[in-house]
Each structure stands twice: as structure tokens, then as C-alpha cells.
Structure 1
Amino acid sequence: MASPIQSAATIQAVPLDKAFRLLNHGPTVLVSSSCNGRSNVMAAAWNMPLDFNPSRVAIVIDKKTYTRELMEASGTFAINVPCRAQADMVIKVGLSSGRELLGKTPDNKVAALNLPTFAASQVEAPLLEGCVAWLECRIIPEPHIQQAYDLFLAEVVAAYADSRAFSNGRWHFDGYDDLRTLHHVSGGFFFTPGEGIATRQD
């Protein structure tokens, strides 16, 4: 099993018209947000691509979350696609509340869980190291569906992927099992993608 150790050399930009493929297989994601120096991150399983030109996504974020508060304040957020090697971290993120840390030291979940990050190029939200894909997103304001259904639409303004697992618009995990994406079923149980089957080029 190949090492999941990542370097800057393995992180490559993804053309925006191919960014939808980073979410097309339904992975669990980590949503990061930031505004005026305050940051948070949460786990989310209900997300999907909407379009590829321009690249758009949809994601459900509950009204009670601190991540949503920062998203709405900044108008932006980031989607981080974690991998098998990060399963325990994803559970910790999902079971903790950034709002409960306010007024404490450290006062945000990213710092409290000692999550290494790097800077995004187009949004304020931090990107989480060790993930296999990242999408920087700008919210498309739709107040009715945001309030009624907790559903956010966003345009992807930048996208990146670990080239060991995604390149030329395709996922490929052979030889890198620890980089396989996570798919949450329930109760802290995940599965990962299995064998890929190629039928034709498109």
C-alpha cells in the first residue's frame, strides 16, 4: 500500500470544466469556512455537482452550524475531499462543534483538532492538508432554498486534486489505497470506491 504522504508537487490544478468529477462519485466532504479571521470545518455527506460550465455544486448545510454562519457572512467556502487515511479525523470533525469552542483557547475547530491547512487562492476558507481534492466555492445567493431546505448552490472558482489519485479528469486509486475517498453510510461507517471499470473515453 503506497504512502499517503503528500507534497506540493502532487497537488495540481483541475480545469473548472472537469471539477464536477471531483464530487460526481458522492464522497463525504469536509466543508471549511472563514470570515474576519474566524474559521471552522464540518463534515458533510449531502453534496453533488450541478453543472460543469460554469462549474457549480450543491450542498446541504444545517442552519445550526457555525460553518454556515461563516459561509453566509463571507459568501464563500471550500469543499475538501478527505481520504481513507483520514477516516478517524473525519469522525472527530463530524462529532465536534466549532460553536462550542467560542471563547475558549483555541477558539476554533481547525486549531483545536490540530488540522494542518494551506491557503486557498480565491476564498478565505482554509484548505485541509492530506485531502485528495479541494474546491473553492462562491455562494450563488438563493435565500429561499437556503432557508427552506438548507441547500446552498455555489460556483466553483478554483479546484485542485492530488495527482496520485486524480488526473486527466479521472479518479484512479490503484496503488494508493489510503487515498481512496470516503463514503459515509451511517453510524460512523464508511466504504471506499472499489475497482474501476472503463467502458469508453469521453
Structure 2
Amino acid sequence: MQALELSKAFTLMESGPVVLVATHDGQSNNIMTISWTMVMDFTPVFAITTGAWNHSFVALKRSRECVIAFPTVDMLDTVVGIGTCSGADTDKFAKFKLTPESGKLVKAPLIKECLANIECQVIDIVKKHNIIVLEGVAAYFDTERQEKRMVHAVGDGSFIVDGRRIDRRKMMASKLPDGV
């Protein structure tokens, strides 16, 4: 094996799905791109890492709710564009021609063009590490959408695209919760 610069070690682990996090601050909607995500367990509890560097962070802290939306590979340029401009001076829904849709339980909008959306409530904020712990309260999946491949950020400006799915459900049955 060759040595890897320690400063690049995060690129080995970062490749969870890139998501869009929609917020509503009481007056307007915003979207931020997040590649630092984590599933907490088999319940609908998730974590994202963000902080004051994202304009949406204030809305997320105040409203204590958001929508996690799952874009697909055909939306990659939009996802990168969203992540490289600020909601402080840009209406990202208008700029990127995205459609906000009302959810059932939170004021933050769903993003119609995404493969899936999860309405979430903030249940904890771990200030030391900028970790926002979210509980999903409703979820939606677009079964008619043709493109279903998600993207994963490597952390160096490149991305990995979902590929072939390999099924080992029978082998793992004793470890999976019922209905998964």
C-alpha cells in the first residue's frame, strides 16, 4: 500500500449521498447542498453537518425543521450550482428552475424535481461539531422518475454515481428490521 496524505483521508469516507436541504425562514425558501450526512440507525433519524457558513443554517436553527431532498445524477450541475452560491442574495428555486411543493408537516418545501424528499424536525444540535440531528416525520418517493441514480461527493470536486445494485438481503435478513 502507498501512503495517503492524512489531509485527504476524508475523501475515503465522504461519499454518502449528496442531498439538498430545503428550509423556510418564515418569509422565503432556501436550499443548501450537503454532502456530510449520516443515518443514525434503522429509525428515521439522520444527521447533517452544517454551520453558520451556510445561509440556511439560521433558518434551520430557528424553525427547527427542513426537508432533505435527494437529487439524481441528471441534476448534478444544479446541485453544484446551489452549493456554490448563497441564499443571502439568490433565490435558488428561481435561479435553478426548481419547484417548491408544500409538505404535510413542515413549512420547508419539498423539491419536486428530486427523487425523494423527507420532511424533518430538528431534535438535537451538537454545537461542538456542527451536527444537526433530524427526525423524519414524512417521506416521499417519485416512483415515476426515470433517473434514480444518486451522486456522492468525494470531497475533492469529483463525484461518484450510483451503479449496479447487488442484493444480499437473504444473507443479512437476521440484521435487517422487518419491512426493510
Under a length normalisation based on structure 1, what TM-score does the superposition of the two structures give? 0.71
- What is the Cα deviation at residue 77 of structure 1? 0.6
| Structure 2 residue 58 is matched with structure 1 residue 69 | yes
1:98 corresponds, among 87, 105, 125, to 87
Aligned partner of 2:114 among 118, 131, 136:
131
* Residue 32 (structure 1) aligned with residue 18 (structure 2): no
State the Cα deviation string for residues 154-183 of structure 1 (Å, max 9, x = none): 111001112257xxxxxxxxxx5x320011
1:135-170 alpha-carbon deviations (Å, 9 max, x no partner): 11100134xx2x2111001111001112257xxxxx
Structure 2 residue 148 is matched with structure 1 residue 179: yes
Instruction: Assess if the C-alpha contact under 8 Å between 1:80 and 1:134 holds in 2.
Output: yes
User: Residue 191 of structure 1 aligns with which residue?
Assistant: 160
User: Match of 2:133?
Assistant: 153
Q: Residue 120 of structure 1: CA displacement?
A: 1.2
Gaps in structure 1 of 5+ consecutive residues = 1-24, 102-106, 166-175
Q: Does 1:122 align with 2:105?
A: yes
Residue 16 of structure 2 contacts residue 153 of structure 2 at CA under 8 Å; is this kept in 1?
A: no
Superposed displacement of residue 39, structure 1: 1.5
- The structure 2 residue matched to 1:108, chosen from 74, 91, 112, is 91
CA distance in 1, matches of 2:163, 2:36: 21
May I ask how many residue pairs the two structures share in their alignment?
A: 157
Where do 5+ consecutive residues of structure 2 fail to align?
Answer: 1-14, 174-180
Matching of residues 81-92 of structure 1 within 5 Å: 81-92=70-81
Letter of the structure 1 residue corresponding to residue 54 of structure 2 = T
The structure 1 segments of at least 4 consecutive aligned residues displaced by more than 3 Å after TM superposition are none
SS at match of 2:119: strand
Q: Is the 8 A contact 1:56 1:153 kept in 2?
A: yes
Q: Which residue of 2 aligns with 1:11?
A: none
Contact (CA 8 Å) 1:50, 1:57: kept in 2 or not?
A: yes
- Give, in angstroms, the shift of residue 35 of structure 1: 2.2
Greater relative contact order, per chain length (Cα 8 Å cut-off, separation 6+): 1
Q: Structure 1 pair 195/141, CA: closer, same or farther in 2 (3 Å)?
A: closer
Q: Could you tell me which residue of structure 2 aligns to residue 44 of structure 1?
A: 34
Give the TM-score, by structure 2 length: 0.80
Deviation, 1:193, is 1.4
Q: Tell me what 1:172 maps to.
A: none
How many percent identity over aligned positions? 30
